[in-house]
Amino acid sequence: MFADFEEVKKMLVCPRSGCPLVQKGDSLSPLNDGKANRTLYRFVRGQPVLVDFEDSLLNEEEIFVEGAVSALPRKQGVLRKLIKAHLLHPDANRRAGVIAGKFLRELKQKREKPKLLMIGAGGGGRGTDVFYDDQDARLISFDIYASPLTHFVADAHKIPIETASVDGVWIQYVLEHVLEPWRVVSEIKRVLVNEGLVYAETPFLQQVHEGAYDFVRFTYSGHRWLFRDFIEIESGISMGPGVQLLWTLEHNARGVFRSRAIGQAAKLALFWLQFLERMIPLRYAFDNASSFYFFGAKTDKPLTPQEIVRYYKGAL
């Protein structure tokens, strides 16, 4: 269930100093923070913008002038959503939904009413309906733009949430869009309670899909190393070689004909090619997948460099 903002506000901290925030009129200000106490975090569309603009790719003027809207179009019609869910990414949608159920059960074994932080969830998340439907879970959400599904605007490099305050973190297809993903994962570890849970989906072989806000990709081993401070509960391929093939065909058609629409039409016409990946042995798929997922628990015994070399599961 989406948490009440008044509940979330008690957990918010200054992204620069980590000090608690207090309401000052229509802004939030750090408490007992010396010079930084003069900082005021203003609201946009009813949500505080908790960003250290001196250390962020986000532009303060653009956010407040444009109203903290997404730089890219986010709205999708019902038909488009159905096509993506049932034709283009059916396996990925099912897999995320199954993991979400496991994730929630694990959280509720540790705490009756767990707090779940969703990063980059301004548009919701694949397979996450179970979180919003559950009456005990408390969802806290932010993105780099404001939406009906966020509580505040923030940069994940400096999560404005107090240390050890949430039981789980859910982050789907966000880490490729941050400048320093290791800093973001370090922040995830900080805000989690001991043995807190994390679930991440991150691309390996995907074309650029967020324009200027698209920076990195990860192999299966690279993704595991990114989460080396977490014990693995489960990991694997979230979207396989078939989806990767469709993306490649789409972008090649787009380039040949200089048309985004023709690229999307080619992808839709050839959607059945993705199911050929079921003929590919898993160890080959690991070297050619579109994206990976990791589900783990915070630990004080990180993975070692020697262990990550042995972790490789591909065919080479």
pLDDT tens profile 259-269: 999 999 999 99
- Residue 72 within a domain: no
How large is the C-alpha radius of gyration of the chain? 20
Q: Backbone dihedral region of 124: left (phi > 0), alpha (psi from -120 to 50 degrees) or beta?
A: left
| 295 DSSP β-pair partners | 199, 234
Q: Which of 66, 88, 113 marks a domain boundary?
A: 66
- Do 300 and 193 belong together in one domain? yes
pLDDT at position 283 is 95
Give CA separation, 230 vs 75, 156, 203, 253, 297, in Å. 34, 18, 19, 40, 5
Give CA separation, 314 vs 97, 144, 199, 225, 237, in Å. 26, 35, 22, 16, 12
- Do 126 and 180 belong together in one domain? yes
- Do 106 and 221 belong together in one domain? yes
Q: How many domains does the chain have?
A: 2
Q: How confident is the model at residue 73 (pLDDT cuts 50, 70, 90)?
A: low
- Do 179 and 100 belong together in one domain? yes
- Do 55 and 86 belong together in one domain? no
Percentage of the residues of the chain whose pLDDT score is greater than 70: 92
- Do 34 and 147 belong together in one domain? no
pLDDT at position 35 is 57
- Do 40 and 145 belong together in one domain? no
Closest CA to 122 of 154, 77, 164: 154
Q: Which of 23, 44, 66 marks a domain boundary?
A: 66
Coil/strand/helix, residue 96: helix
- Residue 58 within a domain: yes
- Residue 316 within a domain: no
- Do 177 and 302 belong together in one domain? yes
CATH of the domain at 108: 3.40.50.150
Q: Which tokens belong to 298?
A: 């915070």
- Strands 47-50 and 152-154, how do they pair? parallel
- Do 275 and 154 belong together in one domain? yes
pLDDT at position 83 is 67
pLDDT average, residue stretch 130-137: 93
pLDDT in tens, 222-278: 999 999 999 999 999 999 999 999 999 999 999 999 999 999 999 999 999 888 899
- Residue 203 within a domain: yes
pLDDT in tens, 149-168: 999 999 999 999 999 999 99
- Residue 32 within a domain: yes
- Residue 2 within a domain: no
- Do 56 and 93 belong together in one domain? no
pLDDT at position 38 is 67
Closest CA to 205 of 245, 252, 236: 245
Q: Which of 34, 66, 98 marks a domain boundary?
A: 66
- Do 37 and 168 belong together in one domain? no
Task: Supply the range of the domain harboring residue 34.
Answer: 7-66
Average pLDDT, the chain: 91
Handedness of CA 215, 166, 68, 259 (dihedral sign): positive
- Residue 12 within a domain: yes
pLDDT in tens, 171-217: 999 999 999 999 999 999 999 999 999 999 999 999 999 889 999 99
Q: How confident is the model at residue 125 (pLDDT cuts 50, 70, 90)?
A: confident
- Residue 173 within a domain: yes
- Do 137 and 251 belong together in one domain? yes
